[in-house]
């Protein structure tokens, strides 16, 4: 059965994987599953209902929601009608919502519940196209809801008309607008077609190890292109999708459903590891020594070859410690697919040593998204790289080191912004990623930095902050770091401590404090971080060494503004917010 448009995934799923748990989520503490038949029925009823409400091909319909089956129902129903799904992050600002809903000329918006509805209540009147077309996934007083659309569709089925509409939709038709969160300026609406996304789906499918009853746990936002493409891949391969209740519940959900596959970002994997190490510090005597011996063995893992003696140590470490770590993650993992940012090699090695393979990928919203990804074939994996380029995609490294790519993955352009499109796609069709990279001798792609994030010191030396930040982030006591130094005589850094680790260390040392600010300004804490910085600096040349630093008294997050919804640093925001602090880093020490 040929799959050329995203809604073709549903009959393909029903034919080859007639499952009772195609989708699942928790409601009132109980896992509620939807069979592929129930899924298709819901989608068709929503399509019929939206047809009655006047939705037609090319209309922009938005959703603002956390991960839940209703998102999938709406998504596929819109695809079948040729409408364009504008899936918006649930964590952005009110001003960004207003900009996107107006810029995309959204005709109707679906919101999951009160919490997100409150974010747009004040701006609805500023969006002329919306009028009163605000729907919720839950039945909230005073608002129309998805069940009304379903009931309208059930009362007015139009299978032949729907079939005619589906027949008119081509693989090259735009299927979604995804507004990039961006670190500066207004978000840009990336136009992606059915073909863009499905070519990516089909290219990554051979990489994924699938069993008859495979399950995945999904927690990354469905509005993000990476998770969204992977969700379609799970549909294509018949993998059941279970949605995590929240970030805080992921560990419990992993134990409950024991997934085979997990898509993640490095930050979460680092958090898992930090929690594991925190448990180790609570051990005593011989148990503690064995725990950290196994941790040391794990950090020495090498995919490219190990000695007989190392393999014996690893076997013992797994039996005594590492298998328990894997059990804490559900125990069934065949693979973790990591994307969105570079993963620390140390973290990759530890997961591989746990017998949890981590495949790292690379791409952008504008590339649908995957350009390169690790795989289990020859020369498919090299820790510290993002693997080989996918089949059907061209890639080259420009003279200045920038990664350029072209092929079926490249977006149709930015919505209503031809001048911005022309800035990133040249006359020969090459998309300029803005990332710096190099090709390894075996063919894997290594990302070395972000072109716009590079800066030049006062002495004319270039510094790539991400390389320095990734090394520093290997320290468990550092939660986040941003290196600065544009036109300055040296590099410096803002450092966010891992406050749980730091509190434990303070308690161990008998350091008293009442607030985070008091803690991070304690002389012994500053000496501790000076030692950490000095140790990390040994890995860098004189130009790249962090000569001075300031500690930040609170964790950076999406809510506080320092991180994008995909957990990348919003560098300009951080610089503006901490302008005086950064300036003090380059004043002469008192």
Any idea of the CA torsion for 262, 264, 266, 269, to the nearest 10 degrees? -50
Given pLDDT bands bounded at 50, 70 and 90, which one contains residue 590?
Answer: very low
Q: How far apart are CA 89 and CA 86, in angstroms?
A: 10
Q: Which of 143, 169, 195 is the last residue of a domain?
A: 169
Global pTM? Answer: 0.87
Residue 339: inside a domain: no
Q: How far apart are CA 548 and CA 526, in angstroms?
A: 11
Q: What is the mean pLDDT of residues 424-437?
A: 95
Given pLDDT bands bounded at 50, 70 and 90, which one contains residue 588?
Answer: low
Q: Considering the chain, what is the average pLDDT of its residues?
A: 93
Given pLDDT bands bounded at 50, 70 and 90, which one contains residue 449?
Answer: confident
Q: Which of 129, 152, 169 is the last residue of a domain?
A: 169
CA distances from 470 to 247, 333, 448 (A): 23, 26, 10
pLDDT at position 305 over 80: no
Residue span of the structural domain in which 500 resides: 454-585
pLDDT at position 6 over 60: yes
Q: Which residue has the higher pLDDT, 495 or 125?
A: 495
Given pLDDT bands bounded at 50, 70 and 90, which one contains residue 589?
Answer: low
Q: What is the domain count for the chain?
A: 2
**DSSP state string for 462-511:** EE-HHHHHHHHTTSTTEEEEEEE-TTSSSEEEEEEE-HHHHHHHHHHHT-
Q: What percent of the chain has pLDDT over 90?
A: 75
Residue 542: inside a domain: yes
**How do residues 334-385 score in pLDDT, each as one tens digit?**
899 998 878 888 899 999 999 999 999 999 999 999 999 999 999 999 998 9
Residue 577: inside a domain: yes
Q: How far apart are CA 144 and CA 142, in angstroms?
A: 7
pLDDT at position 467 over 80: yes
What are the start-end ranges of the E strands in 182-330?
Answer: 189-193, 215-218, 240-243, 261-264
Q: How far apart are CA 262 and CA 333, in angstroms?
A: 8
Q: How far apart are CA 563 and CA 581, in angstroms?
A: 19
Given pLDDT bands bounded at 50, 70 and 90, which one contains residue 320?
Answer: very high
Q: How far apart are CA 161 and CA 51, in angstroms?
A: 9
Residue 350: inside a domain: no
Q: What is the mean pLDDT of residues 495-515?
A: 93
Length of the chain: 590
CB 401 within 8 A of CB 390: no
Q: What is the mean pLDDT of residues 123-142?
A: 87
Given pLDDT bands bounded at 50, 70 and 90, which one contains residue 453?
Answer: confident
Residue 182: the pLDDT is 57
CB 403 within 8 A of CB 358: no
CB 223 within 8 A of CB 181: no
* CATH code at position 494: 3.30.300.30
SS (H, E, C) 333-399: CCEEEECCCCCCHHHHHHHHHCCCCEEEEEECHHHCCEEEECCCCCCCCCCCCCCCECCCEEEEECC
Residue 192: the pLDDT is 98
Give the closest residue to 61 by CA, choosing from 11, 121, 101, 32.
101
Given pLDDT bands bounded at 50, 70 and 90, which one contains residue 304?
Answer: confident
Residue 550: inside a domain: yes
* CATH code at position 102: 3.40.50.980
Residue 46: inside a domain: yes
Residue 195: inside a domain: no
Q: How far apart are CA 146 and CA 108, in angstroms?
A: 12
The token duo for 505 is 């260390």
Residue 49: inside a domain: yes
Q: Which of 153, 169, 185 is the last residue of a domain?
A: 169
């Amino acid at each position: 059965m040929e799959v050329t448009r995203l809604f073709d995934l549903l009959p393909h799923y029903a034919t080859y994987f007639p499952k009772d748990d195609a989708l699942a989520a928790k409601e009132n503490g109980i896992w509620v599953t939807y069979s592929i038949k129930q899924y298709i029925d819901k989608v068709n009823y929503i399509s019929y209902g939206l047809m009655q409400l006047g939705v037609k091909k090319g209309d922009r319909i938005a959703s603002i929601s956390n991960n839940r089956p209703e998102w999938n129902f709406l998504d596929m129903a819109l695809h079948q009608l040729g409408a364009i799904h504008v899936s918006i992050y649930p964590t952005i600002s009110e001003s960004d919502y207003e900009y996107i809903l107006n810029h995309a000329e959204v005709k109707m918006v679906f919101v999951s519940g009160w919490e997100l509805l409150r974010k747009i209540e004040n701006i609805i009147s500023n969006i002329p196209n919306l009028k009163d077309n605000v729907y919720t996934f839950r039945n909230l007083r005073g608002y129309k809801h998805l069940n009304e659309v379903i009931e309208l569709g059930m009362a007015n089925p139009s299978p032949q008309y729907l079939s005619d509409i589906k027949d008119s939709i081509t693989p090259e038709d735009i299927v979604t607008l995804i507004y990039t969160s961006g670190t500066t300026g207004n978000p840009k609406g990336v136009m992606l077609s059915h073909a863009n996304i499905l070519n990516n789906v089909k290219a990554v499918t051979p990489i994924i190890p699938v069993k008859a009853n495979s399950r995945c746990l999904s927690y990354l936002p469905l509005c993000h292109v990476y998770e969204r493409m992977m969700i379609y891949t799970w549909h294509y391969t018949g993998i059941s999708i279970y949605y995590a209740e929240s970030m805080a519940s992921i560990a419990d959900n992993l134990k409950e459903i024991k997934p085979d596959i997990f898509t993640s970002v490095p930050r979460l994997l680092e958090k898992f590891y930090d929690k594991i190490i925190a448990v180790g510090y609570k051990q005593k005597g011989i148990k503690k020594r064995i725990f950290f011996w196994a941790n040391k063995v794990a950090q020495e893992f090498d995919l490219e070859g190990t000695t007989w003696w190392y393999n014996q140590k690893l076997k013992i470490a797994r039996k005594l410690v590492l298998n328990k770590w894997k059990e804490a993650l559900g125990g069934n993992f065949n693979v973790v697919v990591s994307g969105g940012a570079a993963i620390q090699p140390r973290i990759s090695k530890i997961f591989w040593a746990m017998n949890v393979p981590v495949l790292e990928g690379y791409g952008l919203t504008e590339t649908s998204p995957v350009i390169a990804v690790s795989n289990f074939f020859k020369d498919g994996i090299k820790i510290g790289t993002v693997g080989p380029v996918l089949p059907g995609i061209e890639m080259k490294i420009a003279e200045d080191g920038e990664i350029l790519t072209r092929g079926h993955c490249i977006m149709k352009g930015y919505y209503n912004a031809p001048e911005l499109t022309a800035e990133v796609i040249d006359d020969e069709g090459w998309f300029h990623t803005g990332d710096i990279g190099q090709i390894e001798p075996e063919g894997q792609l290594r990302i070395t930095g972000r072109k716009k994030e590079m800066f030049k010191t006062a002495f004319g030396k270039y510094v790539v902050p991400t390389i320095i930040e990734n090394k520093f982030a290997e320290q468990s006591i550092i939660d986040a770091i941003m290196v600065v130094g544009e036109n300055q005589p040296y590099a410096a850094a803002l450092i966010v401590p891992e406050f749980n680790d730091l509190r434990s260390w303070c308690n161990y040392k008998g350091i008293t404090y009442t607030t985070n600010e008091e803690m991070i300004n304690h002389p012994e804490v500053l000496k501790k971080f000076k030692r950490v910085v000095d140790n990390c600096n040994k890995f860098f040349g004189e130009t790249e060494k962090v000569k001075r630093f300031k500690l930040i008294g609170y964790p950076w997050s999406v809510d506080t503004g320092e991180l994008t919804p995909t957990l990348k640093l919003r560098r300009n925001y951080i610089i503006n917010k901490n302008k005086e602090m950064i300036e003090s880093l380059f004043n002469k020490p008192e």
